[in-house]
Structure 1
Amino acid sequence: MYKLTKRLIDIIIASLVLILLSPILIPSIIILLFTGEHEVFYFQKRVGYKNKMFDIWKFATMMKNSPNIGTGEITLRNDPRVTSFGKLLRITKINELPQIINVFKGDMSIVGPRPLMEVSVKLYPEEIRNKIYNCKPGMTGIGSLIFRDEEKIVSDAADPKAMYAQIYPYKGELEMWYQKNASFYTDFMIMFLTGWSILFSKNQLVGKVFKDLPKRNF
């Protein structure tokens, strides 16, 4: 019942978001057409439900050959591969909005673990890697909330790859927490807190709402 109702809620919310945010989406499409490399959407293979691959939709924010230059799959704050308009899209998270299409298609839910590239999924401990996508990946989730500014955390680290090696085991614990506590209340609060964190980026409300989250040790 929960999964069926959640799917219906996903479609309703995605439809509302598409309508309400069209004044942002349409200008973004037009600007991308006439700036940077004139690419509007970026498609990338991600690991999804039951570890099956799918194409995620995003607004194009980086140079076409980005995966093969610089830091590869790791994107840093002020990364030179990011276009001028792409920087704004990434800071505001507008670049993630085309994933609404993935929600309509059923690849993703509004709330769930973030869908990652296969190389990034391997950073999770094996026992978590085998379970994390037992629920559909989401546009937002508890891991996304805790690490909303992940790019900055990694960019500030002396060794970005070593920092990712610390982040992912903890992020995996957070997603396992979500699976144990998945409910309409949990999903609603994650959606609310996502919006709240965009408006108030330095707030500590997540820990006050979800008091039993796994403890962070780094």
Structure 2
Amino acid sequence: MIRKIAATAALAAVAASPMTVSAAFPIEPIGPTVTVLTATPALVGAGVSVSALGLGSLSFDASGNAVGLFPITGGYLDPDLSNAMVQHAGSGLRLSRAGTDVDLENFVIDTTLAQDTIFGQVTVGATVLNDVPLFTLSGFNLFLSEPAGDALVSFLGIPDLGGAQLGFALTSPVAAVPEPETYALLLAGLGLITLAARRRTQKG
């Protein structure tokens, strides 16, 4: 119980840091963000089940990796494509183990920070925390944040995955869940995150 209280306090502390919003053009709901969780077999091996919440959908590829589809509901894009904030209201993931559910919802991809970060709402029982840094992005690679890793250790009793790569993600205007053979086509395309990263590199 003490560990769970400490984890909640730690998440609340990092959630208190506001995200940066710059003047930018609004993003229309153009399609989903596709996330392939290559860590799914490891999670399942630790007794954790993964399911979709709300508007999100989840399927599994031949390797047992969860493929999530989270509709883009809005956001902002800088005129020079250097930065973006991509919102996914009303969808998310549920991680469950031994009767405990950890809900991660309402993702916001924020590339305005030094490290591209995915924020979201965390719900465990009656505890609800907003704007928690859940994941970081490096190109297409998706990593679990240190605060989120600590929280999962406390709430679900699994090994610390903070900083570990969970899979990859692509923000792209695709219309349906991709088949495994289309991953290469998705990765060859330019999503909002890729555009932002390249423009930022050119500026530097």
- Relative to the length of structure 1, the TM-score reads 0.30
Structure with more helix by fraction: 1
Structure with more strand by fraction: 2
- Higher-RCO chain (CA-CA 8 Å, sequence separation at least 6): 2
- Relative to the length of structure 2, the TM-score reads 0.32
